Structure 1
Amino acid sequence: MRVVGRIALGLAAALIVLAAVVLVRTFAFKPPAAADTAAIEVAAPIAVDVAGAAQRLSQAIQIPTVRHQDRAEDIDAEWTKLHALLATNYPAAHAAMTREEVASRTLVYTWPGTDKALAPIVLMAHQDVVPVTPETARDWKYPPFGGAIAENAVWGRGAIDDKGSLVGIFEALETLAKQGFKPRRTVMIVSGGDEEVAGQGASAAAALLKSRGITAEFVLDEGLAVINDNPISGGKVAVIGTAEKGYGTLRVTAKAAGGHSSSPPADAGGVVNLSRAVVAIADDPFPMTFQGPGAEMVKALAPDAPFMVRMAVANEWLFRGLLAKQVGATPPGAALLHTTIAPTMLKGSPKENVLPQDATAWINYRIAPGDSSATVMARAKAAVGDLPVTVAWNTPPNEPSPVSSSSSWGWKVVAATAGAVAQAPVAPSLVTAGTDSRFLTPVAKDVYRFQPVEFDLADVQMIHGVNEHITLGNLEKMVQFYARLVLTAAR
């Protein structure tokens, strides 16, 4: 009994020590991703002609620069109209910059800096938009390509993604050029013409920069935004993407003899084998791990989060598994912590009473940093085992981007400006979709993905959806952010 008592006392003492360590670490916790931006003197706000900016964005929305999966459906003349509109609406900016056009109507602007020793900054915003499906057109409050200015907002396809950013950048640079601003650091704009179809415009722009030996100090593209009701702290936060996931679609095919459905084969047939393969792949998900940009966001927001969240983050060594489980409890949270697997398309027989000679499924992957297309392929092949199917990439996959710094000078400038405009804390995170900026990673020290617009989480559904619009308040923040960013980085 004495031995048991000593063991119990020892365990109690150990638990007390553990609890003390946990509490000390909790109260002393400082997020590692929160780089000190105090040394960055963010430029003062500028005067913004919001009504004029709204009119000019409306005009841009009325030009339907729609990219289709079948590029034969694209209307090249719409890009010609948009380019002419930009030149007409922003004469001072165009006088200050040179303009070049590369593949897929992609534009590259350069505003030369006075100090050639300084690496340039690159601002990105694409020109193209996704189609509006005919069956949803009647669900829009205002015509999707009407550019209506109503209810304190500009409505239409591209208002957020991404003509809002494009117009915001030009409004900012036009204002600065009219004021006689001369940048010390070269400022560039890369405006992709085919981002929505993962085209080659931005890649061609990157090749142009590489041919000239240009390495940007930082690149800034679309991606993340200011979230009013983030689920970690419940408050407002400016979330900046420091990386984005890779993209790839596997094609899984099951061959079969085919024939008439009245005499199905005893060995199950192609559709059944394909089904088994798809289920096997989907039932073997990539594990969620509390690491990478998604985890860095949680760490950055932990000081403003409820006590239990702070305690878990401060003692990651003890609660790492629990953190992964809790963050990954929702699909958006899970997408931050692992490579996702999404079966999306199926093809079999063209007729209900015909056995197909081959059945095919397409499985879309968003590949997290730390994984690769090779690890995806190996996991899929291991999952299907000896099932009689073939597994191949539908098209060459895109690898996940490198993770940009959350402590460099570029990060500090972007984060400080975002925080000043949003009046909110700033956190790094992971972009789970794809942007044109991934093509510029070889010609930039850092690549960031952020739009200075405020959303509730529910608002995100309108991007690529129905009733896309940008409020006049958010449009003003766009112009303020880009102007103050350029002034801060290039003065």
Structure 2
Amino acid sequence: MGKKFAFFLLTVVLILVLIILIKTFTFKSIQPTYPTATTLAVSDSAIVHLQQGIRFKTVSVSDRAKPDSSTFLAFHRYLAKTYPLIQQKLRLETVAGYSLVYTWKGKNPALKPVILMAHQDVVPVEKASLPQWKVDPFGGTIKDGKLWGRGSADDKISLFALLEATEKLLQENRQPERTIYFVFGHDEEAGGKGVKAVAALFKTRGIKADWVLDEGGEITKKEIPGLQGKPVALIGTSEKGYLSIDLKVNIEGGHSSMPKTETAIDVLVNAVQKLRSKPFPASFAGSTGDFFNYLGPEMPFTSKMAIANQWLFKPLLFKIYEKSAGGNALIRTTIAPTILQAGVKDNVIPTSASATINFRLLPGTSIDAVFRHVKEAINDNRVQLIKKDAFAEEASGLTSTQSEGFKQLEKAVVESYPGTMIAPYLTVGATDSRQMAGISNCILRFAPVTDLKGMHGLNEHIGVDEYKKAIGFYYRLMKDLK
């Protein structure tokens, strides 16, 4: 009996191993191949234009702070002067005060238009951080073959590269087959009300776009486990949702010399700890599933085997991705306490305490589901939950990798950046493109930059040659637009 069972067990193991190996060896590459495009000659004047553009302090502070009108209007005048053919041949509209919409009419009005996006605004530079900057953050300085300054990576590089490419195409008397709308929001860093107004305007005009391209993904040589050193273009095909919830506790306070067993701060901290101890479930659905389909076959054998056999190795893959903040963000709705407020004096026990918790929602998880999760996790009636609806956004829909927009984008990437692999992925940050959900069901998020340096932080910069390549990328994308 023992021998029969051992033989049975061995047979099961061999069958299991055979299934694993078959799935691994039949997990074939789906990476696209295109010939390398001729390098576009880009004048050094393009570098000067971006330098000058960085010197305009088009800062967004918050959703409640008004933009500096004189700075944004001066920036608009600079664009008009710098790109005369765009000014002459494209129609320009200003929406919500400062957001810009350029319309480049196509030859064939029967074709749906495309929308190419970037944003004018940048985040502030903290005064306390100024001594740590290598250069003036708004100087547009070129040093060590790099262009430094706020906006050089996020996102004036895309705005100026698009305009440079368009101006060059106009110099060559080219006209796209389909209409192109350029949408340059003015407050992406403060909620995106400008592009929201543009989307509303497009809806009133009945505009439906074939596809939309905004920032969000990039080329990375560092971030993909098993593929470090190899360039991978991360193309966002979906975007996480956004929600913040305030937790508020009100309990009678008093003198700090006679503290009660439990204070408002105790209850609040306990609530935050309970919430953090109950994370949302992990999932490889949507864009992350497509990510594995594109990159799994390119991985070292062990990783390839695990990805090809998720029916068996999914728990192991979850553990691997949970180890890093970036990996964890790709597989679950995240929970991040961002603001804590309580007390006014060191010898006074406060009567109230509050915390703001920010959630980035995985596609498939609704705002209502997050609220229910929070309520059940905390399970304390003394903690009041208040949804901050002003910026609440459901997670986006999924753009198909078989869509015409995705295929055109990957072609331009592979032609412009030889040897670069393509990977659909989930964009974890919020972009202006989310406002275009009612305008197109094909929204893509990618900027032609490599491992952004200093975005929202210190010493933001971009390589001069990298910027020239970005111009060439947009030039090919528009020239080959079908």
**Does the alignment reach a TM-score above 0.5?**
yes
Deviations 1:306-326 (A, max 9, x none): 101111111121112212221
Q: Match for 1:233 among 216, 227, 230?
A: 227
Shift of 1:71: 4.3
Tell me if 1:85 matches 2:83.
no
The aligned counterpart of 1:484 is 476
The aligned counterpart of 2:307 is 313
Q: Measure, in 2, the Cα distance between the counterparts of 1:7 and 1:163.
A: 68
- The answer on whether the counterparts of 1:37 and 1:412 sit within 8 Å (CA) in structure 2 is no
The aligned counterpart of 2:99 is 106
- The answer on whether the counterparts of 2:120 and 2:186 sit within 8 Å (CA) in structure 1 is yes
Q: Match for 2:111 among 112, 118, 124?
A: 118
Q: Measure, in 2, the Cα distance between the counterparts of 1:308 and 1:300.
A: 16
Superposed CA RMSD in Å reads 1.7
282-291 vs 329-338, which deviates more? 282-291
SS across alignment from 1:144: coil
Q: Measure, in 2, the Cα distance between the counterparts of 1:125 and 1:272.
A: 45
- The answer on whether the counterparts of 1:37 and 1:413 sit within 8 Å (CA) in structure 2 is no
Tell me if 1:440 matches 2:439.
no
- The answer on whether the counterparts of 1:104 and 1:194 sit within 8 Å (CA) in structure 2 is no
The aligned counterpart of 2:255 is 260
Q: Counterpart of 1:429 in structure 2: which amino acid?
A: Y
- The answer on whether the counterparts of 1:57 and 1:163 sit within 8 Å (CA) in structure 2 is yes
Tell me if 1:421 matches 2:416.
yes
Measured at CA, do residues 167 and 176 of structure 1 come closer, stay the same or move farther in structure 2, by a change above 3 Å?
A: same
- The answer on whether the counterparts of 2:35 and 2:415 sit within 8 Å (CA) in structure 1 is no
Shift of 1:442: 1.0
Q: Match for 1:175 among 143, 168, 178?
A: 168
Measured at CA, do residues 156 and 72 of structure 1 come closer, stay the same or move farther in structure 2, by a change above 3 Å?
A: same
Q: Measure, in 1, the Cα distance between the counterparts of 2:220 and 2:89.
A: 35
Q: Match for 1:58 among 40, 51, 57?
A: 51
Identity of aligned residues (%): 38
Q: Match for 1:165 among 158, 168, 176?
A: 158
Deviations 1:317-355 (A, max 9, x none): 111221222122211101000000011111111111112
Q: Measure, in 1, the Cα distance between the counterparts of 2:416 and 2:130.
A: 35
Q: Measure, in 1, the Cα distance between the counterparts of 2:6 and 2:97.
A: 73
The aligned counterpart of 1:336 is 330
Q: Match for 1:75 among 56, 68, 90?
A: 68
Q: Measure, in 1, the Cα distance between the counterparts of 2:317 and 2:286.
A: 13
The aligned counterpart of 2:297 is 303
- The answer on whether the counterparts of 1:61 and 1:163 sit within 8 Å (CA) in structure 2 is yes
Shift of 1:285: 0.5
The aligned counterpart of 2:447 is 451
Q: Measure, in 1, the Cα distance between the counterparts of 2:64 and 2:144.
A: 35
Measured at CA, do residues 42 and 189 of structure 1 come closer, stay the same or move farther in structure 2, by a change above 3 Å?
A: farther
Deviations 1:370-418 (A, max 9, x none): 1111111000000111341101113441111111111111110011111
Q: Counterpart of 1:93 in structure 2: which amino acid?
A: I
Q: Measure, in 2, the Cα distance between the counterparts of 1:104 and 1:158.
A: 21
- The answer on whether the counterparts of 1:232 and 1:298 sit within 8 Å (CA) in structure 2 is no
- The answer on whether the counterparts of 1:42 and 1:484 sit within 8 Å (CA) in structure 2 is no
Shift of 1:73: 6.2
- The answer on whether the counterparts of 2:137 and 2:150 sit within 8 Å (CA) in structure 1 is yes
Shift of 1:199: 3.1
SS across alignment from 1:247: strand
Shift of 1:52: 1.1
Q: Match for 1:140 among 133, 136, 139?
A: 133
Shift of 1:254: 0.5
- The answer on whether the counterparts of 2:153 and 2:453 sit within 8 Å (CA) in structure 1 is no
Q: Measure, in 2, the Cα distance between the counterparts of 1:72 and 1:324.
A: 41
The aligned counterpart of 2:465 is 473
SS across alignment from 1:343: strand
- The answer on whether the counterparts of 2:254 and 2:349 sit within 8 Å (CA) in structure 1 is yes
Q: Map residues 320-469 of structure 1 onto 2, 5 A cutoff.
A: 320-396=314-390, 397-423=392-418, 424-455=420-451, 460=452, 462-469=454-461
Shift of 1:70: 6.5
Shift of 1:297: 1.6
Q: Counterpart of 2:299 in structure 1: which amino acid?
A: A
Q: Measure, in 1, the Cα distance between the counterparts of 2:479 and 2:38.
A: 9
The aligned counterpart of 2:244 is 249
Q: Counterpart of 2:396 in structure 1: which amino acid?
A: S
Deviations 1:83-135 (A, max 9, x none): 11111111112222100011141111100011011111111000000000001
Q: Measure, in 2, the Cα distance between the counterparts of 1:207 and 1:478.
A: 30
Q: Match for 1:48 among 10, 33, 42?
A: 42
- The answer on whether the counterparts of 2:53 and 2:75 sit within 8 Å (CA) in structure 1 is yes
177-186 vs 380-389, which deviates more? 380-389
Tell me if 1:275 matches 2:273.
no
5+ long unaligned stretches in structure 2: none
SS across alignment from 2:447: strand
5+ long unaligned stretches in structure 1: none
- The answer on whether the counterparts of 1:58 and 1:146 sit within 8 Å (CA) in structure 2 is yes
Q: Match for 1:10 among 8, 11, 32?
A: 8
Q: Measure, in 2, the Cα distance between the counterparts of 1:72 and 1:118.
A: 40
SS across alignment from 1:462: coil
Q: Match for 1:151 among 132, 138, 144?
A: 144
Measured at CA, do residues 104 and 320 of structure 1 come closer, stay the same or move farther in structure 2, by a change above 3 Å?
A: farther
- The answer on whether the counterparts of 1:43 and 1:487 sit within 8 Å (CA) in structure 2 is no
Shift of 1:253: 0.4
SS across alignment from 1:443: coil
Deviations 1:249-306 (A, max 9, x none): 110001112222223234x121111111111111111122222312422331122211
Q: Measure, in 1, the Cα distance between the counterparts of 2:174 and 2:241.
A: 39
SS across alignment from 2:478: helix
Q: Measure, in 2, the Cα distance between the counterparts of 1:187 and 1:171.
A: 15
Q: Measure, in 1, the Cα distance between the counterparts of 2:37 and 2:113.
A: 18
